[in-house]
Amino acid sequence: MTVVAALQIAAGVPIERILAFEDEIRGADLVVLPEAVLGGYPGRVPFTEYFHAAVTVPGPEVTELAGLAARTGASLVVGVIERAGSTLYSTAVFLDPEQGLVAKHRKLVPTERERLFWGRGDGSTLPVVATAAGRAGAAICWENHMPLLRAAMYAKGVEIWCAPTADDRDVWQASMRHIADEGRCFVVSACPYEAEGDDPFRGGSVIAGPLGDVLAGPLRDAEGLITAEIDLEEIVTARKSLDVSGHYSRPDVFSLTVDERPREGVTFVR
């Protein structure tokens, strides 16, 4: 039995709030947490305060998350605000129960007001990671609306599509179900929930199967963990009729080039 889960909790919580879910997480093979669960969503506090609330990767908060993964046996995909030098990124970190931090993905395109606060990732952080639940990759919030990003991840053989998000609209459910159906993969989306505040997030975490069927959620207006039992053999069956990177592709007509080189602002040559 393989169990995947989404932990719905407020954005910008202290690390202790996440660690308090240890008992609930134990027993899951993979758990996805919302975008900016550590560090918070931008524009809600003064920038200097927001900057110092961000985490380094690796860093002490990530080490604590790795400890949580080790104690529970669950792989974790966690949305954090990463501080690198003087720039902030919306980042998903991948924590393995045995190896700790194994990968990260920086959001490629911040949306609207996010662009005032966050830098843009590059193609060097587009991992698909082996976990006990299956091959997992991440697209953060509206990256899920980027068709070419989806095509690249499908081509990498993603089986568990992790979608940390801050989008609590009803239409988000349609996007998650579409990606599950298009990619013939399992989708685990975690959205923040806040009980109070100006324009609080209302949740909507959901898990979908490889034909777009809803397996758990959407969870609305509450904090908590949703779980679903999955069978990767369902992907094999589903891709018999649709494999967008294989028999349903037309490489003679369409092609995609993905540049995975890191893009540094300054290069020193000696």
What was the pLDDT predicted at 4? 98
The percentage of the chain sitting over the pLDDT mark of 90, rounded to a whole number, equals 95
Nearest to 202 by CA among 165, 174, 228: 165
Q: Which domains does the chain have, with CATH numbers?
A: 2-241 (3.60.110.10)
pLDDT tens-digit profile of 194-214? 998 888 999 999 999 999 999
What is the chain's mean pLDDT, rounded? 97
Q: Which amino acid is at 91?
A: T
Mean pLDDT on 215-219 = 97
> Peptide bond preceding 58: is omega within 30 degrees of 0, i.e. cis?
yes
Residue 141 annotated to the active site = yes
Question: Which member of 107, 143, 159, 191 is catalytic?
Answer: 107
Nearest to 206 by CA among 216, 198, 194, 221: 216
Question: Which member of 35, 114, 143, 194 is catalytic?
Answer: 35
CA distance to 19, 77, 197, 242, per residue, from 223 (Å): 14, 18, 15, 36
Residue 35 annotated to the active site = yes
Strand partners, 7: 225
Kind plus residue range of the DSSP H or E element containing 88: strand 87-96
Cα–Cα distance, 53 to 260 (Å, whole number): 29
Question: Which member of 61, 82, 104, 141 is catalytic?
Answer: 141
**How does 72-94 read in b/e, with b if 16+ C-beta sit within 10 Å?**
bebbbbbbbbbbeeeebbbbbbb
CA distance to 5, 9, 34, 41, per residue, from 195 (Å): 21, 10, 16, 15
- 133 pLDDT band, cuts 50/70/90, is very high
What was the pLDDT predicted at 96? 98
- pTM here? 0.96
